[in-house]
Chains A and B, each alone.
Chain A
Amino acid sequence: MIQYLIDGLATGSLYVLLALGFTLVFGVMGMMNVAHADLYMLAVFSFLWLGTDAGLGTAPGFVLGVAAAVAAGWLIFVVVLSRVDKAVPLALFVGTLGVSYVIENLVAKLVEFRARSVPPLFATTTWEVAGLRVTNSDVVVLMATLAMGLGLLAWLKLSSTGKLLRAVSENTQLAEVVGIDTGRMMALSVVIASAIAGLGGLLVANKTQGINPFVANDVSLKMFAVAVVAGAGSVGGAMLVGFALGVVESLAVAYVGSTWQNVIGLLAMVGVLLFRPQGLFGRYNRVG
Chain B
Amino acid sequence: MLAVITPYVDSVLVVALSYAVITLGLQLTLASGQFSVAHAALAGLGGYAGGLASIDGDWPFPLALAAGAVTGLVAGAVLAALLARTSGILLGTVTIAVGQTLAVLMRNLNTAFGLRLGGSQGLSGIPTRTSLGWAAGALAVALAASLALRRSGVGLSMLAVGRDETVARSLGISVLATRLWGFAGGGALAGLGGALIAHNNGIVEPKDLSFASEPLFFIFLMIGGLATPWGAVVGAVGVWWLQELLRFPWSDDGTFGFLDQQDRYWILGVVLILVVLFRQQGAISRRALRAPSAAAQ
Asked if B52 lies at the interface with its beta carbon under 8 angstroms from chain A, I say: no
A228 to B150, CA, bound (A): 33
Distance to closest chain B CB from A73 (angstroms):
15
Task: Determine whether the beta carbon of B222 is less than 8 Å from that of A90.
Answer: yes
A104 to B85, CA, bound (A): 34
Distance to closest chain B CB from A109 (angstroms):
6
Q: Interface size for chain A: under 10, 10 to 19, 20 to 34, or 35 or more residues?
A: 35 or more
Residue of A nearest to B37 (CB): A93
| Chain B residues closer than 8 Å to A95, beta-carbon distance | 272-273, 276-277
Residues of A249-288 at the interface with B, using a CB-CB cut-off of 8 Å, are: 259-260, 262-263, 266-267, 269-270, 273-274, 277, 287-288
A97 to B271, CA, bound (A): 11
Residue of A nearest to B94 (CB): A273
A267 to B97, CA, bound (A): 7
| Chain A residues closer than 8 Å to B107, beta-carbon distance | 259
Task: Determine whether the beta carbon of B97 is less than 8 Å from that of A266.
Answer: yes
Choose, from A55-63, A81-89, A187-195, A197-205, the stretch at the interface. Answer: A81-89
Asked if B254 lies at the interface with its beta carbon under 8 angstroms from chain A, I say: no
Task: Determine whether the beta carbon of A270 is less than 8 Å from that of B98.
Answer: yes
Task: Determine whether the beta carbon of A262 is less than 8 Å from that of B104.
Answer: yes
Interface of A (DSSP majority class): helix
Interface of B (DSSP majority class): helix
Distance to closest chain A CB from B15 (angstroms):
20
Choose, from B17-25, B134-142, B185-193, B262-270, the stretch at the interface. Answer: B262-270
Q: Which residue of A98, A260, A262 has the most chain B CB atoms within 10 A of its CB atom?
A: A98
Q: Interface size for chain B: under 10, 10 to 19, 20 to 34, or 35 or more residues?
A: 35 or more
Asked if A80 lies at the interface with its beta carbon under 8 angstroms from chain B, I say: yes
| Chain B residues closer than 8 Å to A113, beta-carbon distance | 262
The 0/1 profile, CB within 8 Å of A marked 1, for residues 233-277 of chain B is 000000000000000000000000000001101101111110111
| Chain B residues closer than 8 Å to A85, beta-carbon distance | 280
Asked if B111 lies at the interface with its beta carbon under 8 angstroms from chain A, I say: no
Task: Determine whether the beta carbon of B270 is less than 8 Å from that of A90.
Answer: no
Asked if B211 lies at the interface with its beta carbon under 8 angstroms from chain A, I say: yes
Task: Determine whether the beta carbon of B266 is less than 8 Å from that of A277.
Answer: no
Q: Which of A88, A99, A270, A277 contacts B97 (CB 8 A)?
A: A270
A217 to B207, CA, bound (A): 13
Task: Determine whether the beta carbon of A266 is less than 8 Å from that of B218.
Answer: no
21 contacts between A and B (CB under 8 A): A83-B277, A84-B276, A93-B35, A93-B37, A93-B89, A97-B218, A99-B269, A102-B270, A102-B273, A113-B262, A221-B96, A221-B97, A232-B90, A259-B108, A263-B100, A266-B100, A270-B94, A270-B97, A273-B86, A274-B85, A288-B166
Known pairs A83-B277, A90-B30, A263-B104; list 10 more (Cβ under 8 Å): A93-B92, A93-B218, A94-B218, A99-B269, A101-B269, A104-B265, A217-B211, A217-B212, A221-B96, A221-B97
Q: Which residues of B contact A (CB under 8 A)?
A: 30, 35, 37, 82-83, 85-86, 88-90, 92-94, 96-98, 100-101, 104, 107-108, 165-166, 211-212, 215, 218-219, 222, 226, 262-263, 265-266, 268-273, 275-277, 280
